[in-house]
A = this chain, B = another copy of it.
Amino acid sequence: MDMVKRRINMKDIAKEANVSVATVSYVINKRKDQTIAEATIKRVEDAVKKLGYVPNLAAKALVENKSYLIGVVIPQTEPGKQFMFNNPFYSELLSSIEFVARERGYHVLISGTDVDQSYLEIAKKRSLDGIIIVGIHPDNYYENLTSTAIPVVLIDSYCNNLPFKTISIRDRESAKIATQYLINKGHKKIAFASGVITDNGVTYERYLGYKDALEEAGISVNKDYIYSGTVSQEYGKELGLEIAKKDDRPTAIFSTADIIAFGLINGLKKANLRIPDDISVIGFDDTWIARDCDPLLTTIKQDVFKKGEKAVDLILNGNNDENENIVLDIELIERESVAELKEVF
């Protein structure tokens, strides 16, 4: 007697339906290239229901060398720490990736970036079907990944020399648009507030766009107006307080993330400046936080859902050899945090 509760497998189904395991496999996978009698299909399906069969993906993964698993790597604030989730942009992105992946029959494995263990190792171990890397990471990350056949999609990274697919927006142009918007409103003293500026990151691109706009308008870049810290409300707030105290205060600030802008607004208000009357702020991303600042934040909207969706699509449908780069559009959302500058003589 078989007292131990065994896992129901294809063999059990085969026996119950009076067919071979191969047939069961064909029925379960609905294989179009196999011809199977309607009656047989029904017998198998009935057996599956009757016995409560659930396929074992580990076995499937073993023979197919495929896991129906997509890895998502999210940047950490610090090594050995948790990953960055105070920025709603990442939350929203992850949520959309998970949603789309699930629709496609895939699951999502999340991971912060571990210094000891390269993500490539995880990918190989788990036979991941693809890796979506969000944001910028230490260089050694990418190095290893090039040696593998696993599709890698980079979101918000400008490592153009690497054979990876990317999905991005025109960060430089977008930043230029934001800055030009401020310039068109009469601002000349425009500050730049961002997280750490890394070589291949979006932040650097956005910095370039900011510079482009200023230079094109004949405004020289004031090094005193360039602020770079962490992508967090804390930094924004700190910065708001600092800027408020400044002698030659800027009249507008372009922030590369809503969450920094949010902090900025808090800090500036704390220092009794009115926004946008005393100082204007423009953000980036259009996360929910932009819709719930006071004043409502004028910002560059990027379609976060689409960003996640396209990333999954690139992994699943993309030709692995091709080096695709998808570029999404942005939109400037005018709300309440930017004012026309009254000329002061």
Contacts and interface: CB of A to CB of B under 8 A. Distances in A.
A54 interface: yes
A98 B92 CA distance: 17
Contacts of A58: 58-59, 61-62, 67, 126-127
B91 A85 contact: yes
Given A56-B62, A82-B96, A107-B109, A270 B288 contact: no
Contacts of A54: 121, 124-125
Given A54-B121, A294-B266, A98 B127 contact: no
A1 to B, nearest CB: 20
B83 A99 contact: yes
A122 interface: yes
A124 B8 CA distance: 11
Given A58-B127, A59-B62, A111 B122 contact: no
A14 to B, nearest CB: 18
Given A62-B58, A102-B114, A108-B109, A85 B95 contact: yes
A233 interface: yes
Interface centre among A88, A94, A266, A292 (most CB of B within 10 A): A292
A233 B94 contact: no
Contacts of A59: 58, 62
A110 interface: yes
Of listed A57, A81, A127, A266, residue having the most chain B CB within 10 A: A57
A262 interface: yes
Interface string A254-292: 000000001100100110000000000000000010011
A92 B88 CA distance: 11
Nearest to A114: B102
Contacts of A67: 58
A266 B291 CA distance: 11
A186 interface: no
A85 B92 contact: yes
B81 A85 contact: no
B88 A86 contact: yes
Contact of A98 (B7, B62, B82, B95): B82
Contacts of A98: 82-83, 110-112
Nearest to A108: B110
Interface string A56-82: 111101100101010000000000011
Given A83-B99, A107-B126, A110-B110, 15 more contacts: A54-B121, A54-B124, A54-B125, A57-B127, A58-B127, A81-B99, A82-B95, A82-B99, A86-B288, A88-B91, A98-B110, A102-B111, A102-B112, A102-B114, A263-B292
